[in-house]
Amino acid sequence: MTSTDASPTRVDPALTGAMLIGGSAVHGGAGEVRAVDPRTGSQLEPSYGLGGAAEVDRAAELAWAAFDSYRHTDLETRAAFLETIAANIESLGDALIDRVQAETGIPAARVLGERARTCNQLRLFASVVREGSWLGVRIDPAQPDRTPLPRPDIRQRRIPLGPVAVFGASNFPLAFSVAGGDTASALAAGAPVVVKAHEAHPGTSELVGRAIQAAVRQHRLPEGTFSLLFGDGPGLGAALVRHPRIKAVGFTGSRTAGSALVVAAAARPEPIPVYAEMSSVNPVIVLPGALAAKGAELGMALIASVTTGVGQLCTSPGLVFLPAGDGFDEFVTAAADAVCTSPAAPMLTAGICAAFTEGVDRLAAIEGVTAVARGAEDATIASAGRAGIFVTNAATFLADPTLHEEIFGAVTVVVQVTGSEQLREVVQRFDGQLTATVHAAPGDHDEARRLLPLLELKAGRVLFNGWPTGVEVGHAVVHGGPFPATSDSRTTSVGTLAIDRFLRPVSYQNIPAELLPADLADDNPLDLPRRVDGRLGRH
């Protein structure tokens, strides 16, 4: 028996340094990790014991034991469970906000916004669960008198794949982490979740994990519905992906790590899907009319987008393509001025900061690339990120593949393009992207019309007259794209369509009425939207 009460459960904000394996708190013995405040470089308490093969096996087996019961929860119970997770996260109050800041250096205002996004998407998936169209019910009633052959009764619905492994991201400690979009969509689909926490914010992960654990208890769900593990990626992470009880993977992070998980999952005796969001430079194209009309304004707006989150966003615009001519100099000058006045800010970790510095140095060493401006230095910040802007031309961009690679941080490259043919050649050379942006005045629309068919082959989201940072969580958004932006271009990790990743269709032929699941019953007792004999409706 389960409860549908979605009121919050009190979660103790005191940190313990423990993993959460089902209903138990477990201190791992395979080493330890402490979070580091990127603002000061100081270590934070407590230390977190890392797990190994035994902890992976325990969590995965509990998830498998929970799967059959959890996937059969009624829709209202499952929706209320998601809502309780959101309420529990909110009930943590300042303890959560303060810990996120200490572990990431993210300002309080953004942490509050990210908490709201995290809780809102949990509630959004609760509404999706209740509405029911995600079940994909289709019914082709029997036609025994059809000639030359009768048609059997065939009914279809979608069921969850099984337990899902979720990898927390470094740059969104709430919205792409323990209770982020991968976890929310998997739980909504009816799949238990085992989260591998990101080592940079273990305290944040423990607090949110205990909010989920408390919701599992409140709704009397099987304990293996959720587990939280700490451990190193190549060791514990790979063991989790290889475990036979895990049936799908959600990942946000680097191309190197995501590709390694894809290889590991494909090498299993039973290969499983890995939905990895990995790498994107999010090109921006400014067409001549837009550049001539507001070159300086667009230059300043570019840097505002580039420096959002110290550039540590998967949608940060790392490449900008401008035509030679009116407005070019004004754009570059305004962007350079904005960079020069951009203060240094803490990056998420010392490792991310070092990789950013190496990437900028590598960029500056490329022949034909000119450094235009760098942001202010600040020796008081342990892992300080400084914004930067560089300029090159299309010939250099086309000749050097390293200019196509993501540098994770607040840096962008302005590429001067000569003519429409060269612009289309550049676009055709793009790797797969999460986003592609076009700035166009009305007089640019003929050129934009020719670009759109090219851009939709390269990106999951095409924007006009805006900036890619900031992803709306809703029904129509796509946060995905062709490789290397993601490992599966057919999916999205943000928005309600994300639930599709963890479902598969099953057909039921000539099943006796008394044996049919409720969502396939003739009288539609769940009042689901269904396609019956080709017609969509609630019948």
Identify whether the C-beta of residue 51 lies closer than 8 Å to the C-beta of residue 230: yes
Average pLDDT over residues 491-520: 97
pLDDT tens per residue across span 416-442:
999 999 999 999 999 999 999 999 999
Q: Which of 162, 230, 155, 227 is nearest to 200 (CA)?
A: 230
Extents of the domains making up the chain: 19-278+491-501, 284-464
User: Given a cut of 50, is residue 1 above it in pLDDT?
Assistant: no
pLDDT tens per residue across span 285-295:
999 999 999 99
Average pLDDT over residues 29-46: 95
Q: How far is CA 133 from the centre of its chain?
A: 23
CA angle 489, 491, 492 (to 5 degrees): 115
Please give the Cα distance from 531 to 513 (Å, whole number): 18
Among residues 114, 199, 223, 277, which one is catalytic?
A: 277
Mean of the per-residue pLDDT values for the chain? 96
Q: How far is CA 86 from the centre of its chain?
A: 18
Question: What is the band of 40 on the pLDDT scale with cuts at 50, 70, 90?
Answer: very high
Q: How far is CA 364 from the centre of its chain?
A: 30
- The question of whether 353 is a catalytic residue gets the answer no
- The question of whether 314 is a catalytic residue gets the answer yes
pLDDT tens per residue across span 195-209:
999 999 999 999 999
Q: How far is CA 239 from the centre of its chain?
A: 22
Token couple for 343: 């203060």
CATH of 19-278+491-501, one of 3.40.50.1820, 3.40.605.10, 1.10.3720.10, 3.40.50.300: 3.40.605.10
Identify whether the C-beta of residue 415 lies closer than 8 Å to the C-beta of residue 393: yes
Decide whether 19-278+491-501 matches 284-464 in CATH topology: no
pTM over cut 0.75: yes
Output DSSP code: residue 389. E
**Cα separations (Å) of 102 from 19, 204, 269, 465?**
20, 9, 42, 36
pLDDT tens per residue across span 98-148:
999 999 999 999 999 999 999 999 999 999 999 999 999 999 999 999 999
Q: Are strands 345-346 and 384-385 parallel, antiparallel or unpaired?
A: antiparallel
Q: Residue 422 corresponds to which amino acid? A: Q
Q: Are strands 274-277 and 32-33 parallel, antiparallel or unpaired?
A: unpaired
Q: Does domain 284-464 have CATH number 3.20.20.70?
A: no
Please give the Cα distance from 55 to 240 (Å, whole number): 10
Among residues 83, 119, 314, 353, which one is catalytic?
A: 314
